[in-house]
């Protein structure tokens, strides 16, 4: 089942919101509230994993708010990179606004990983001649390539290919089918 980029971004934001909603409020609990001899965790000092004496363990109090935010942003960027198909309107090679953040995440990943290669595969729907659709697929792949380069990726990391109408994602002849076939796919190697 293929999901649109908007659906995937919405699902990501929903899961981040759920995660944030389930986080601890920092309220302390009376040690005897559960009927056991277990004492509550020291909320002010945090807790330490491995080591026990703060000599080589990982302390939960060691992360600053900025580091937590940076880790959350990194996770969001990685989730955005799961989206590798970008759709276009009829007879255009203009990148849609909703695809820009996802493409920026891909560009940042490529910039941080100079050995990573990606193939940009341009596609068109079945309307138009084979030659025109090959040229349109190439224009779309080149538009994505330019966007990635402007946002930090290296031209040497990318290869563009146009399949025109030859490799449809969905078979049929309706507007919804054509919309799914007007695309550029990023194939990481």
Strand ranges across the sheet with 183-188: 85-87, 183-188, 118-123, 158-164
Of 157, 165, 156, 159, residue with least CA distance to 183: 165
Stronger pLDDT, 124 or 74, i.e. the higher one: 124
Asked if 99 and 183 sit in the same domain, the reply is yes
pLDDT of residue 112: 93
CATH (domain of 135): 3.30.1330.60
pLDDT exceeds 70 at position 39: no
**Which residue(s) pair with 185 in the sheet?**
85, 121
Last residue of a domain, one of 61, 80, 99: 80
Residue 63 placed within a domain: yes
Task: Give domain status of residue 4, yes or no.
Answer: no
The total number of structural domains that make up the chain: 2
Question: Using 50, 70 and 90 to split pLDDT, how confident is the model at 159?
Answer: very high
Domain shared by 106 and 182, yes or no: yes
pLDDT of residue 146: 97
Res. 157: pLDDT tops 80? yes
- Segment 66-94 shows an average pLDDT of 86
Same domain, 87 and 76: no
* Whether residue 154 is found in the same domain as residue 171: yes
By the 8 A CB rule, do 84 and 184 touch? no
Q: Which residue has the higher pLDDT, 8 or 118?
A: 118
Instruction: Kindly report whether the global pTM for this prediction surpasses the value 0.85.
Output: no
Q: By mean pLDDT, which of 21-30, 79-88, 130-139 is the weakest?
A: 21-30
**Residues 168-185 as b or e (16 or more Cβ within 10 Å = b):** bbeeeeeeeebbbbbbbb
Other C-beta atoms lying within 10 Å of the C-beta of residue 43: 14
* Residue 52 and residue 92 share a domain: no
Distance CA 83, CA 93 (A): 19
- Helix 130-150 to helix 97-112 angle (10° resolution) is 60
Q: Is 19 part of a structural domain of the chain?
A: no
157 and 70 in one domain? no
132 and 177 both lie in a single domain: yes
Residue 16, domain member (yes or no): no
- What pLDDT sits at residue 47? 46
What is the distance between the alpha carbons of residues 182 and 169, in angstroms, rounded to a whole number? 9
* 67 and 105 fall within a common domain: no
> Which residues are registered as beta bridge partners of 121?
161, 185
Specify the range with the lowest mean pLDDT, choosing from 12-26, 33-47, 53-67: 33-47
The pLDDT score that the predictor gives to residue 78 is: 78
In a domain, 9, yes or no: no
Question: What does the mean pLDDT of the chain come to?
Answer: 80
pLDDT band at 7 (very low <50, low <70, confident <90, very high): low
Q: What is the pLDDT of residues 110-145, one digit of tens each?
A: 999 999 999 999 999 999 999 999 999 999 999 999
Q: Domain check: are 161 and 184 in the same one?
A: yes
Residues 174 and 89 in one domain: yes
Q: What is the pLDDT at residue 64?
A: 84
Q: How many CB atoms are closer than 10 A to CB 105? A: 19
3-state helix, strand, coil in the chain (%, to 5): 45, 15, 40
The range of the structural domain enclosing residue 58 comes to 46-80
């Amino acid at each position: 089942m293929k999901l649109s980029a908007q659906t995937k971004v919405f699902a990501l934001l929903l899961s981040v919101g759920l995660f944030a909603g389930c986080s601890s409020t920092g309220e302390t609990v009376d040690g005897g509230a559960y009927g056991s001899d277990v004492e509550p965790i020291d909320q002010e000092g945090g807790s330490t994993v491995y080591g026990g004496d703060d000599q080589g363990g990982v302390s939960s109090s060691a992360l600053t708010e900025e580091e937590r935010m940076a880790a959350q942003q990194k996770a969001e960027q990685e989730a955005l990179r799961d989206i590798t198909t970008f759709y276009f309107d009829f007879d255009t090679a203009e990148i849609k606004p909703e695809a820009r953040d996802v493409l920026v995440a891909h560009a940042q990943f490529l910039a941080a990983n100079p050995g990573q290669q990606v193939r940009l595969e341009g596609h068109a729907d079945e309307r138009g001649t084979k030659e025109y659709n090959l040229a349109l697929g190439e224009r779309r792949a080149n538009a994505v390539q330019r966007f990635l380069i402007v946002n930090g990726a290296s031209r040497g990391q990318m290869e563009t290919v146009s399949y025109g109408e030859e490799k449809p994602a969905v078979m049929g002849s309706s507007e919804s089918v054509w919309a799914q076939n007007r695309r550029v796919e990023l194939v990481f190697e």
